[in-house]
Structure 1
Amino acid sequence: MPSAAERTRTLVQSTCSAVLIVPGLSVIHPDQSMPVSRSIGPEGDLFLGFPAESPVVRAATRAQGDELTAVLEITDVAPVSVPHRIRGRARVAGWLTAVPGLAEPGRTMLRLETGEASVDDLWGFDEVEPEDFRDAVADPLTAHETELLQHLHAAHGDRMATLSSLLGDRDACGCPEHRLDAVPLAVDRFGLRVRFVEGGQACFDARFEFPEPVRDVGELRRAMHVLFEAAAC
């Protein structure tokens, strides 16, 4: 399974929604606290782009010379329609400063020096040390996951349904009232997670591991082919 640091880094580098919370700072509109861009520097610090007139930017600028704490909170929502769509949350806390000259005109770059981090997702809750976060690498499928899951759900629903044959005792009996809908919930280099929904109500997750970790979309296609072949046997 991916480490806690890798999972946290993957969420930070994904397109999941994020909000920067500065204690004591109130904003009129929630989107004023949402960075328009985010990246990670070589030392594990976060670089967050904001409109130059953002209340967050003003707070960081006025606090120069003082320690201004802040927390970036990320919410991961499944890109397909499924019960309980929130897949996880990540949190990176530290000290916020303005960095002039790094952003395009009309924007300001803020640097969040990572002091602590944590992730609470489909794998469970874990705290992450700043050094581990710095050294971790995001999952190679991160940039493609949304498109991949939506494609599997829309174009390969029949093949997804065959995965229930790999569930053993948890497989449905086959009658309409116990039919299992299989929705692709998450994919990473190690495997595919599927949410099975019984009769439109009760649901559970199953994890299907790949024979070996994949490094790109091409290897993922081959791994999925092997998985579907196993389900068809």
Structure 2
Amino acid sequence: MPSAAERTRTLVQSTCSAVLLLPGSPGTHPELLVPEARATGPDGEVFLLYPGDAPPVRAATHAEDDELPVVLELTDVAPVSVPHRIRGRAWLCGRLTRLPGVAEPGRMMLRLEVGSATVDDLWGSADVTTEDFAAAAPDPLHGHETELLQHLHAAHGDRLRELASLLGTYAAGLVPTRDVAPLALDRFGLRVRFSAGPEHCFDARFDFPRPVRDVTGLRRELHRLFEAARA
């Protein structure tokens, strides 16, 4: 399974939503705290792009010693329609500083030096150290996951339903199969949500024999998985 640091790094470098929580500004409109873009540097720092007059920029400008303690909150929502669509959240705590002259006119690049992180997702909850976060790499499929899950959901619902046969007779009898949707995908496997409504759902994880490296390897493993379900 992916480590907590890898899962956190994947969320940071994915397209999931992010909002910067500032001290002493509970009334600030959330949309004003959402970065226009974000990226991760080689030492694990996170770069956040904002309009030059955004609240985070103003707060960082007037911070004592030019350092502002903040929390970057990330929320991961499943790209297909399923009950309970939030797949996970992560929180990166650290100090924010400005990087004048890096962004285009009218914009300001901010640097978040990560001090600690926590992830709470489909795998569970865990703390992540600064060193582990900096050393981790995002899942190699993260840039394709949304498109792949939406394709599986739209074009291969029947094949997904057949995966229930791999759960065993007892487990398959307990799984509601009115609705079946692919919930998450990474180099280690596929997670599917079987449901008969919001109060009656069940997740099943189908692990690959070995981690895949790219989309080509993923297609091969998915084909093998679907063929095993039909055998």
Match of 1:203 among 201, 204, 208: 201
2:223 is the counterpart of 1:225: yes
Match for residue 124 of structure 1?
A: 124
1:101/1:160 CA distance change after superposition, 3 Å: same
Alignment of 1:75-224 (within 5 A): 75-168=75-168, 169-172=170-173, 179-198=177-196, 201-224=199-222
How many pairs are equivalent?
230
Paired AA for residue 77 in structure 1: V
Quick one: distance in 2 between partners of 1:34 and 1:161?
Answer: 38
Q: What percent identity do the matched residue pairs reach?
A: 65
Deviation at 1:28, TM superposition (A): 4.3
- Deviation at residue 173 of structure 1 after TM alignment: 8.3
- 1:192 maps to a residue whose letter is L
Conserved in 2, the CA contact under 8 Å of 1:172 and 1:179? Answer: no
User: 1:94 is aligned with what amino acid?
Assistant: G
Please give the per-residue CA displacement for 1:111-135, whole angstroms capped at 9, x wherever unaligned.
0111000100000000000000000
Root-mean-square deviation (Å): 1.6
Q: Which amino acid aligns with 2:150?
A: Q
Superposed structure 1 runs of 4+ greater than 3 Å apart: 198-201
Output the CA distance in 1 between the equivalents of 2:59 and 2:120: 29
Counterpart Cα distance in 2 of 1:134 and 1:57: 24
Please list the CA deviations of residues 41-85 of structure 1 after superposition, one character each: whole Å capped at 9, or x if unmatched.
111111000011101101101126243100000000000000010
AA partner of residue 148 (structure 1): L
Check conservation: 2:71, 2:92, Cα contact below 8 A: yes
Kept in 1, the 8 Å contact 2:83–2:197? The answer is no
Native 8 Å contact 2:66 2:97 kept in 1: no
Deviation at 1:198, TM superposition (A): 3.2
